[in-house]
Amino acid sequence: MTCFPCKVFIIISLIFIVSSCEDSPNLPVVSRDGKIALCLHEDGTYKVINKSEENTEIFVTDGDGSFLKRLTWHKTYKNWLAWSSDGKKLTFVEDKKSLWVVDEQTLQREELLTIDKGEIWSPCWSPDGKKIAYFVCEKDSEGLFDLYVVDYRTKKAKQILKDTSPPAKWTLDGKQIITLESSLTEQQKGEKIKSYFPGNIKIESGDYLPVNIVTVNLKKGQKQKLASGTIVFLYTLFDLSSSGKELFIFFADKIPDNELIPPLCNNLYRINLETKEKIRLTNFPEDENTFRGMYLSCSSHSDQILYLNVPELDGTSEDKRIKFSITVMSPNGTPREIIKAVDPVEDAHAVVILPIWVGKDRILYNNFRTEEEKPGVFGVLNVFDINEKSTFDLTKKIKEEYPEARGKIEIKVPDDLQKRIDELINQLGADEWKICKKATKELIKIEAPAIPSLKKALKDPDPEVRMRARFILKEFGVPIGKH
């Protein structure tokens, strides 16, 4: 009876982290005004889990797929997207080591920092858009994360906290960061508590981890504890209410005696940031086949909470696929199941659903499937309209729009940047090889804003300019046809 739940839960863990750190999650993110950003592969497919050697590009769409816009044109591995509060910029991690920002309108991008050791995780913008919090996990650490903040203007980074677990959230005034800090003693770090992976030295995804929810005042450097509880490491997400006065989180109230089965009961808690009052909002039954509550999202337009509910893990059923449901909880604590028994996609080994609010009344959720012949875990993004009670296959629409969107670029380049692009394209035909090489590198770094001018350069009378322009456009993956 315990074998099947264990197997399924380990599969489920892929959605947020692969404990070997060789693969990483590719999670869509939604801006306050309902724009959805995600990473797509060169053939337009969306994968929930990407291989580290796979190139991805960032695209933006909306809840009905009415448009698909490409933001990046550089063949690298990208993940961990995050919108700025005003919905104008996206930060992302490139090749696990570099933190970048791209402007959604001008497509100008800039590198904020690159680290030598470890991997960057889960960046998060401050409300005023001046700072970005992010996590770093080093492979030779105990498995926990260090929290940093980088100033967007100066690009100077500072370590804020050690031994933490993503995510991080900013208070509405931008003065404090809220995160999860391990409350393990130094001795416990080595021994760990209940784990799905007995014998491992590090704390890994799926481990039970006692934590303190803490706020860190960036100006004063003061840390304050809000509440304590036990989480499932890297599965437990928390979120803030639209008012910014309350925090919602799932704590594991009961840890199973058998290490090989999932947490039996994750209950939802509400914590008042001012009074530190901690109230349990759900009261799920504690039986062997049940683990409830995971992955939550607070609406930015109301005080409604959205969360994934796993009613039952039935190891005796012939259909080994799990059916999940999605619940909305009103401010008074009344739950309402709005998507019942979500069916797995065809030939799925399991289904994982990360529910996210899209605007006021739509929900983005994610099915996934694996294919033995192809690497990676393929996602199926669906958008559910609460009012219409209808579901839209966003992945299918993206696939239809992709052939045109992958080569389309419509931007207004600032005059000063356009002047520099024109100068660099002229330098592509320079007699001195070093000048040509330097201009090529700078145009590649400028990326999208240079593409329209590079396309025009394909008809330049100088063959050297035409050749190098073609080379750069190929680097960007731009369809150029015959010139």
pLDDT of residue 363: 92
**Options 1.10.8, 3.30.450, 1.25.10, 3.40.50; CATH of 415-476:** 1.25.10
Mean pLDDT of each 10-residue bin along the chain, 483 residues long: 33 39 73 92 80 83 88 88 95 94 92 93 95 86 84 96 92 95 70 46 66 92 92 80 92 64 71 94 68 79 83 49 76 81 48 78 77 58 89 89 84 89 95 93 90 93 94 83 58
pLDDT of residue 311: 59
pLDDT of residue 45: 85
Q: How many CB atoms lie within 10 A of CB 106?
A: 16
pLDDT of residue 184: 76
pLDDT of residue 479: 74
